[in-house]
Structure 1
């Protein structure tokens, strides 16, 4: 009996999570800023890998 109640509770919680705002999934796709010309905006330095060992 507890299994049935637990499954029913989980299913209802899952359905409630999906039923939030149905209009949130629609609309125009995100757009790049006007000044973006394909230049990477990641300003972190590249990761440095150690040089391979000379054999």
Structure 2
């Protein structure tokens, strides 16, 4: 039983190590908009949830 637990723990640590190596932050080019993008706003916050601007005094 302890051998099985030890094997599972080792497998988890190895998987975490491989996942850490697969960092996608090092992109070689700037992200680009898709060709069908026509400037559609991406903010989907409903107007009722947007706070009122502060009123000047």
TM-score (norm 1): 0.43
TM-score (norm 2): 0.42
